[in-house]
Structure formats: structure tokens, C-alpha cells
Amino acid sequence: MSRPDLLLLGAGLASGLIAQALTEHRPEVSFLVLERGPSIGGNHTWCFHPDDLGQAEAPLIEPAVGHRWPVHSVIFPNLGHRQIDAGYLCVPSERFHAALAPRLRDRIRFGAEIVEVTPTSVRLASGEVLEAGAVIDARGAAPSPHVSLGFQKFCGLEVQLDEPLALDGPVIMDATVPQEGGFRFVYTLPFAPDRVLIEATSYANSPQLPAETFASDVLAYAKAKGWKVAKVIREEKGVLPITLAGDVQAFWEEARGVPRAGLRAGLFHQATGYSLPEAARLAALIARTRDLSAPALFATIREHAIRRWRDQGFYRAINRMLFLAAEPERRVQVFGHFYRLPAPLIARFYAGQSTAFDKVRILSGKPPVPIPHAVGALARRHPIGAPA
């Protein structure tokens, strides 16, 4: 390929959706995706609710949706089992790859190890330099001294069971497991009656992921449920950022004019860690942007990301209350309090569309953490170091 209009770095969710949007709506734009690994999407499972996406974004992800359920549930010690009559959808990475690979063909290069990036060029480990009208860096989250984070850590095992189960739908939080070192829960996605993804998750202060311990927790959970595991099909693990506070202007100065996307741009739901809706919004925006030169594209994405940062101020405040005001083993009470609220409010929260009345409802009533601690945590706005 001669000098393309765009180089997309990483073939994860953010780059994949940008490629999909350009292919669908801007076929005149040339681009090349550079991916270090052997496939599009890696080894991930992305989920979302139908209300999370607007009319411009939903068609971008529809070809990659592998599973959908009409309901989902949560389970908490003092709440019991609550079924929420709202849809839940899942995009497995293998389905994402199958949907995109035939469309990209020679516009993606696997095994590309990137060592240096500028707004208009990339140098590979081989020494080869590729140039473009603009580079979009979507290689996942990068540490920044200008943002304070907690972490959502997870390890999931997709397992084949000896006997089929009669599960109504996903359980996105079962918090009846021991609460050690942070808010812990197990997440289950029934892909088939005898095939389930079981994921142990922790909202914790440290990003270190003891994957072996988490995997043991998954198998122990299955055993406690009476589910007999015939074999483990695959393992999935990761660490998602949960933003507490930060200086968004300084965060973008670090980019040095390189357009960013996905987690690297800070584009995710800052309380839940869900990244698919924000990735779809940015992909739709880029497809609508006429000037794709590096300076113009950087300015467009930066403005969008800063606006989304400001829109999510309430969610960062909730995170601070969770990580700074609640003792790790009592964080479950914050979530249990939230899941007692009406289903439409919960849906708007996940969609990042909480109303002023929603915010009052979430913070009203007897607080699940000491009031002085909650007030102090909610008042903090700037980088604060690692949570205690």
C-alpha cells in the first residue's frame, strides 16, 4: 500500500470499529491497521446494554454480536437475586475477528512490533518506517502521572460442563463470594446450556493480577454451584482502569500531537470500565470528520475526549467514594445500595446518561460509607496518588 491516509495502531476494539466505520461510510479513506498479535481483537469478551448505543453506533457493532439475552441479573448478600428485565449483548473476540477480517484483507498487518510513534509515522522493530496522513494510537491504556486510578481486575475461564444448565441469562455480579482486599464478584455468561464464561473480578487498589488465584476462585465457584467442569476451553484476563481524578488537559499534552483512541484516549465508562460504547461513538465521529490530517484529527479527538471526561465527573466522584471512603471489604455495600434502585436509573447509569435526579437518588438515603469519609472523597478533584 502506498502512503495511506491513516495508520491505526493495534487491532483491538477501538481500531476495529474505526476501520469498520471507515469501510462502511468513508470508502475513499485509505488506512492500514498494525497489530502485534496474530488476530483482530485478541482474546477478549466485550459486553454492553442495548441502550448504551445510539442509532449511529449500533450498526457498527451488530455484525460482531455473538450472543444476546433479554434479561440479566445481580446477586448481593443483603439483596438476594435481582433479575433486571433489560437486554445484554456480548461480542467475543473471535466473532469480532470473523466479522472484520474479510473486510480488511490487505489493510491489516499482523506481527507488527511498534517501537516509535509520531503524529504521522511509525517505526517498527524491524527498522521499517511507515508514514501516513495521521496515526491513531489505540494500543490500550498507558500509565499517566496526571490521572489517578483504581483497578478492575479479572480472570475468566470459558468452560465446557458435563451437564447442561437452565440459566435465564447472564449474572453480571454475584457478590456473595468472600470480600477480600476489595469488592469481589463473579460474572457468568451462558454461551450455551453446557458452555459458560465464569469470571472472577475484583475492584482493587493495585493493578497486579494474581491470575492463578483468580482461576482457582473460578473453579471453586463452579464447584460450589454444583457445576461439573469437563474442560477449560480458554482463559481470559485483564486489568481495566477505573478513574478517580485527574488533569485531563495535562493528560492530552502527553500525547504530543498523536491522535489516540480507546483506553489510551481515556474513552471508557469511568465507573464500570465498559469500553465498547465509547469506542463506537469515537468511530462514528471519525467517520464523520472531513479533515483527517494529523493536527485536525488530534484536535477533534482531544475535544471529544475532554468533553466526555467532563460529562463523567459524577462517575469519578462515585469511584472516589468507593476507593477512598469505603474500606476494601465493605465496598460491596456501595454496589448493593446502587442495585436496589429502579431499573431505568441503572440503565441510564450504564449508558453514561444519569440525570440530575438519578444522581440525587444514588447519593441519597443512609450512605454505605461514613459520611465524613464520603464528603472528603467526593470533594477531591485532582491527581491524588494511589488509593489507600
Domain spans of the chain, in order of start: 6-146+247-311, 147-243
Q: In this structure, what C-alpha cell is assigned to residue 200?
A: 472472577
pTM: 0.91
Give which of 6, 247, 61, 42 is closest to 140, Cα–Cα.
42
Q: In this structure, what C-alpha cell is assigned to residue 254?
A: 502527553
* H helix or E strand, kind and range, residue 7: strand 6-9
The CATH architecture annotation of domain 6-146+247-311 reads 3-Layer(bba) Sandwich (3.50)
The CATH architecture annotation of domain 147-243 reads 2-Layer Sandwich (3.30)
Per-residue pLDDT reduced to its tens digit, 94-105: 999 999 999 999
Angle between helices 371-379 and 313-320 (to 10 degrees): 140
Q: Which long-range contacts (CB under 8 A, 24 or more apart) does 127-131 make?
A: 130/7, 130/32, 130/34, 131/3
Q: In this structure, what C-alpha cell is assigned to residue 280?
A: 463506537
DSSP notation for 184-230: EEEEEEEEETTEEEEEEEEEES-----HHHHHHHHHHHHHHHT--EE
Q: What is the pLDDT along the chain (388 residues), one digit of tens a residue?
A: 589 999 999 999 999 999 999 999 999 999 999 999 999 999 999 999 999 999 889 999 999 999 999 999 999 998 899 999 999 999 999 999 999 999 999 999 999 999 999 999 999 999 999 999 999 999 998 889 999 999 999 999 999 999 998 888 999 999 999 988 788 999 999 999 999 999 999 988 888 888 778 889 999 999 999 999 999 999 999 999 999 999 999 999 999 999 999 999 999 999 999 999 999 999 999 999 999 999 999 999 999 999 999 999 999 999 998 888 777 778 888 888 899 999 999 999 999 999 999 999 998 865 555 544 455 545 555 555 544 4
* ∠ CA 289-293-294, rounded to 5°: 110
Grid cell 454451584 in the structure block, residue = 225
Per-residue pLDDT reduced to its tens digit, 112-163: 999 999 999 999 999 999 999 999 999 998 889 999 999 999 999 999 999 9
Distance CA 135, CA 122 (A): 8
